[in-house]
Amino acid sequence: MRTIILAAAAAALTIGGFAQARDIQDGKLLVKPAKEGKYVVDNATLGKAEFFGFVGDYVESKKITGILLRDGDHATDDQKHIVAITAQTQKIAAFIEIGGKEIALVDPKPSAPATPPPADDVTPVAPATPATAAAPATPATPAEPVTPAAPAAPVTLATPATPATPATPAAPAAAPTSH
């Protein structure tokens, strides 16, 4: 009985090792294009965002160094673009397999470099002509020290006035009457 359990455990580990070997080859994650702009990685069909997250997880956990887009002749330009920018963002290499040959993946839809906004109706300014060297400035003569002002005279505070007393006390409010 013990032999059977050990044999089953060894078989499970061996199959698990083969499963991992299928999705990574030479440090590259193997990806195939699928229909509707999706990707197949390790028998899982993923959308764009899922693919990006999957690659990020593999970069961290399995230390992949690149992505290989297999069957690249069946991939759309958008799929190639997503693989290229995913690899660029994850700082790994991107490759494509076309006709059995592996080559570096060139993004078919490269991002346009940021261009400055067009100038409004502005007249170009001609560069200024160099000015002639000015004569050195004469050093300023030191000013005479300022004499401090005389101290202010002491201020006499006024005494407070006596508060006014009300002439007549306030009348109490009338009591409410009930009907």
Cβ atoms 72, 111 nearer than 8 A: no
pLDDT at 17: 44
pLDDT at 32: 96
pLDDT at 109: 87
C-alpha torsion sign, points 75, 81, 82, 84: positive
pLDDT at 65: 95
Q: What number of other Cβ atoms are within 10 A of residue 170's Cβ?
A: 6
Answering whether pTM is above 0.95, one says: no
Cβ atoms 102, 68 nearer than 8 A: yes
Cβ atoms 33, 79 nearer than 8 A: yes
Cβ atoms 88, 113 nearer than 8 A: no
Cβ atoms 30, 68 nearer than 8 A: yes
**Tokens representing residue 97 in the block:** 């397999």
pLDDT at 7: 46
Chain-centre distance for alpha carbon 36: 29
pLDDT at 19: 44
pLDDT at 48: 94
Rounded CA-CA distance 134/130 in Å is 12
pLDDT at 16: 46
pLDDT at 125: 64
pLDDT tens, per residue, the chain with 179 residues = 556 654 444 444 444 444 444 789 999 999 999 999 999 998 999 999 999 999 999 999 999 999 999 999 999 999 999 999 999 999 999 999 999 999 999 999 877 655 555 555 656 666 666 666 666 666 666 666 666 666 666 666 666 666 555 566 566 666 666 66
**Which of 38, 45, 41 has its CA nearest to residue 75?**
38
